Structure 1
Amino acid sequence: MDAAAWRTMGRACPGPVGLAAWVAVTLPAPLLFFEGTHRWEERQDVSTALWWTLGAVPVLAAGVAASWTRCTGRRRTSSGLLTAVGVAMLVSAVFLGASMAVYRWVVPLQGAAGWRGVLSSGALLVAAGAVIGYLVGLGNGRRRRLSDRHGYLIGVMMAVVGVLLAEVTVRLGAEDSTSGYEVISHGGVGPYGAAAGEPGVVTLPAGGRYAILAVGFAPHDPDCRVTGAGASGRPAKLVTVAPGDYGTDAAAYAWVASFDVPDAGVYSLNCRSSDDQASYLVGKPPDIRGAVGELVHWPLVAIWLLGAVPGLLVIAHTANRRRAERREVPAPA
């Protein structure tokens, strides 16, 4: 394709609003829906999450094909149909591949995805959506352009929603990407671990990193300190986004902090929080697969900023378009 064709394809691709809608439907939506419709101890399978992606991809293809047909001004011809379908399949392949990569390396949920089946089903759905989009694009209707005011308003709203969803998306993704975690308590503090008002005794079998687990509704921001042989009593490092829903029907646990000890031995644990009756136990850190296992430790501001990116892109796109229009307006004589 020549430069003009690439520019036309760029105009047919989803803009920042379409990108934000794709991200929302393919990542937070399946995690939130599963959380609200299943028992807390159940973990989502990757195949059920990918159904949301397969449901969104024909809509994406239809939009791309319709935009391409309007931009090129093609009539009802076989070459126009094939070109529109080809462009829609190319753009949709990028979006579908990105979503598959997210569920492969960023939020690797349990179960087998059947990647070949996803690709083959996705290709058929893209083709069907592209044909529908081509027929829509042949109509006389034109896509209404958002005003600058509406663009800024939508961008701000999307940024706020993204900030609100970012933390819960990271938490649910980390919980569902945890592989085979078992709560093995080495001691603790609070009603479940020690007598009221006394420090907990923790017997650790080896040196290394250990997790502090909040029991039930205990606050997720305790000030915990471990003292003993080689442990100076420095505060345990809090987990920014505490993944939870670990445990059994008897009790639920959340990973709220971590600490390191040099050797095996008996240590003392003190935890202070806003709840005097809160209990905290010491166990091994959950094994969270994928990049989401690192995201739970990111600064909260960075996680919020990550969630606000789609909305910020809409704002930046609106500002760039407004500047370009001002440059095109001829100066008065």
Structure 2
Amino acid sequence: MRIVLGVSSGIAIYKAVDLASKLRKEGHELHVVMTPDATRMISPVVFSAVGNCSVYHDWMDVRNGWIPHTELSRTTDVLVVAPATANTISKIANGIADNLLTLVALAFDKDAKILVPTMNYRMYSNKLFQENLEKLKNNGWFVVEPEEGHLACGEVGKGRYPENEKIVEAVHLLTFPKKLAGKKVLITAGPTRERIDAVRFITNASSGKMGYALATVAKRMGARVSLVSGPTSLKPPYYVDEFVKVESAEEMYEEVMKRFEDTDIVIMNAAVGDYRPKKVFEGKLKKTENDLVLHLERTKDILKELGQRKSNQILVGFAAEVENF
């Protein structure tokens, strides 16, 4: 895809260099448009070298009839403004086009347009700014919300530049074919844990990566995605509509069943434990010289019960067999 990365003069501008690198590595044709003040903070040469791309910052740079803002907006698939300062956002919201970036934004008439607001938390929460941001949302702009944390000014609040992976995923989200639009998809992922005592448990080996990847792609395809996950070390996938953490097979059973009737597609990817201890010991069992015998009982077969209950839902199950290891 052809992407224009618009860069304004926020203190997080250095992170946009990494974003340019990530977009390039994904195989996109990248063009960078900088505001005049942005060029004072980082040289255009840096973006050109890292992104292997052309960099534009002068709206009067007309060459042989090639007019920068009209040609860039006409031939671009996705417009990403990151970082987007309060000044740039407010200009775009009010139709002010006094530099090349705001000109491109005003002329860009496709759906895939992304803003990454980055600023001091008091500026972000300002009523006038929020009105401008809401105006752009209502006009089709997708906003990657800033994060909360320590800001460059030393204060703490909402306004930090988000992870670049989240911005890249927003590009996928806006451009992926929407074959699941209007569908509700429920996905389970990860292992379950069945407690023996306060510190010990029985579990299945599962990273959860496949289930999380399925949730990501289902969301890209336009579905409303609920992800029910056992304990993993993974971050929740970006933009899923509902993320539910569980531990035991019983907890997973309850969360799946309460959502099943209102779901179109269920993908049971979790490695749910088949057995659990009949008795859970209080506290931590002390180590002794004697052997410990655990009596196990079956957990509920979630997939089997879903098969018995289902009407028109599509039900997908996974099974790990030792001969396939």
- TM-score by length of structure 2 reads 0.23
Which structure carries more strand by proportion? 2
Which structure carries more helix by proportion? 1
- TM-score by length of structure 1 reads 0.23
